[in-house]
Amino acid sequence: MRLVLAFCLSLWPLPLLAQEVPESQGQITLSFAPVVKMAAPAVVNIYATVVVQDRGPFAGDPFFQDFFGNMQGSARLENALGSGVIVGADGVVVSNYHVIENATEIRVVLTDKREFQAEVLLADKDSDLAVLKLAGAADLPVLPLRDSDTLEVGDLVLAIGNPFGVGQTVSSGIISATARSGLSIGSGRGLFLQTDAAINPGNSGGALVDMQGQLVGINTAILSRGGGSNGIGFAIPSNLLRSFIDQAQAGESRFQRPWAGMTGQPVDAALADALGMVRPEGMVISELHPESPFAKAGLRPGDVIVSLNNQPVGSPQEAIFHMSAAGIGAMVDVGYVREGAALVASLTLIAPPDVPAAEPATVMGDVALQGLTVARVNPRVAADFDLEATAEGVVVIALESYAARSGLRPGDVIVAINGLPVGSPQEVLAAAGLSSRRWVIDVVRGGQPLRIGFRF
């Protein structure tokens, strides 16, 4: 082992820079100051006023609600602190959803001490992103966005924000992973950049920038047991952010994701062996909706998707990220493996189709389920309630009056009422109109079967 090591060292070339005399101050001293001067003015502090409803001691108890009504306790105001990034000279700012969630007032403070009131243009809990507009703002400093797919592990980055409310700070580090998926971090789920640049409470919504002062991500969370930075922080990649900004500026009030119409799972070693693959990679398709653009492009269950637009895909979260970053209407190339053969298909990303018709219906009359509103499950309804892409049946979309006390929840898929199978909104209305004192409703909630019983 010593001989091998000595041989390797003897062949290792000496660095040329070690033989040169520094000719400038920049070669003598490494400093991030030029990058900070460029990027810091576009990073802002966000102060959000949030109304918090204290729960009473019997809140949510159906017995006490029957006698005393819905007891919510008292309301109080709390101040939330976070960071944001200016991406539009007219006052467009991006931050995390959890920074402004349930806020009644949002105040944004720039590094030059100017203050603006802000309104939310677009917010999405699943992505943990929010786009704000500053009232009366113009000619503000802006951070340009970099294509986050060009990042590599080891690239230098700076995290800029307002941790602990002490004022704007800067920490340096590297990109330690470019595609962390399978995580549920804060409010967001999906694919994240991982960095060892220190990110602390209050940094949420702040900028992760490269050495050219370009925005590569929005700092969103840390992985820590004690609440402080331990060298593992996560940021939302700028490519998804770009899609958010485009939709907000187009007037969308809700983030529109392309629809895959499929379910799948990552390929592990055992699955790769069963599929005859040389190594584990990609995501195997389990189910495909007949209207799925992937199905119409020729893919089928059992195929393994390995890339979207030449970007590797290893999980459903990564596939959703790349589709969301591309946006509805974009054409993408899908690399996949079928029976050992590498294939490529092109398809156009679409919104969840509203077919067959949802046919929403509400139970009326003096019956136990009065105020129950249901709809037929179709791709658009399934996307609204985070159901499986291939889900079928009837879903609860709203509850009022007697139905609000039944134990049902929006998003429940009703399977049967008092033993009668239901498969359409009209069948729910018919079953709900029958006379009975004892009610048993079979539903699927969060993928799990559940039986709800009550008397009327």
Report the mean per-residue pLDDT for the chain.
86
Tell me whether the omega of the peptide bond preceding residue 356 falls within 30 degrees of 0, making it cis.
yes
pLDDT at residue 74 in the model: 65
| Backbone dihedral region for residue 128 (phi beyond 0: left; psi -120 to 50: alpha; all else: beta) | left
Given a cut of 50, whether residue 237 has pLDDT beyond it is yes
- Percent of the chain predicted with pLDDT > 70: 84
Angle at 364 between CA 358 and CA 367, to 5 degrees: 125
Of the residues 83, 124, 127, 128, which is catalytic? 128
Given a cut of 90, whether residue 307 has pLDDT beyond it is yes
Cα 439 to Cα 456: distance, rounded to the nearest angstrom: 8
C-alpha dihedral sign at 403, 372, 101, 321: positive
pLDDT at residue 29 in the model: 53
Average pLDDT over residues 430-436: 92
Residue 382: pLDDT band (50, 70, 90) is very high
Between these two residues, 288 and 54, which has the higher pLDDT value? 288
Is 128 assigned a catalytic role? yes
Average pLDDT over residues 122-130: 93
pLDDT at residue 110 in the model: 95
Cα 299 to Cα 317: distance, rounded to the nearest angstrom: 19
Q: Using one digit for the tens of pLDDT, what is the confidence trace for 7-28? A: 232 333 333 334 444 455 554 4
Between these two residues, 227 and 91, which has the higher pLDDT value? 91
Q: Using one digit for the tens of pLDDT, what is the confidence trace for 331-348? A: 999 999 999 899 999 999
Average pLDDT over residues 366-395: 93
Is 303 assigned a catalytic role? no
Given a cut of 80, whether residue 414 has pLDDT beyond it is yes
User: Which of 50-64, 177-191, 242-256 shows the highest mean pLDDT?
Assistant: 242-256
Of the residues 83, 204, 238, 406, which is catalytic? 204
Q: Using one digit for the tens of pLDDT, what is the confidence trace for 142-199? A: 999 999 999 999 999 999 998 766 778 899 999 999 887 755 544 445 689 999 988 8
Q: Using one digit for the tens of pLDDT, what is the confidence trace for 66-106? A: 555 555 556 677 888 899 999 999 999 999 999 999 899 99
Given a cut of 80, whether residue 309 has pLDDT beyond it is yes
Lowest-confidence segment of 19-33, 286-300, 391-405, 437-451 by average pLDDT: 19-33
Given a cut of 90, whether residue 363 has pLDDT beyond it is yes
Lowest-confidence segment of 74-78, 252-256, 449-453 by average pLDDT: 74-78
Given a cut of 80, whether residue 226 has pLDDT beyond it is no
Of the residues 83, 98, 127, 322, which is catalytic? 98
Between these two residues, 300 and 276, which has the higher pLDDT value? 300
Any residues with CB less than 8 A from the CB of 362 and at least 6 apart, and which? Answer: 371, 372, 373, 398
Any residues with CB less than 8 A from the CB of 127 and at least 6 apart, and which? Answer: 97, 188, 189, 190, 236, 240, 244, 255, 324
Domains and CATH numbers, the chain: 38-134 (2.40.10.10), 148-249 (2.40.10.10), 262-348 (2.30.42.10), 361-455 (2.30.42.10)
Given a cut of 50, whether residue 291 has pLDDT beyond it is yes
Residue 449: pLDDT band (50, 70, 90) is very high
Between these two residues, 366 and 20, which has the higher pLDDT value? 366
pLDDT at residue 13 in the model: 37
Half-sphere exposure of 308 (CA within 13 A, CB side): 25
Average pLDDT over residues 399-419: 96
pLDDT at residue 60 in the model: 53
Is 204 assigned a catalytic role? yes
Any residues with CB less than 8 A from the CB of 68 and at least 6 apart, and which? Answer: 58
Given a cut of 50, whether residue 246 has pLDDT beyond it is yes
Q: Give the position of tokens 């046919």.
A: 359
Cα 46 to Cα 122: distance, rounded to the nearest angstrom: 16
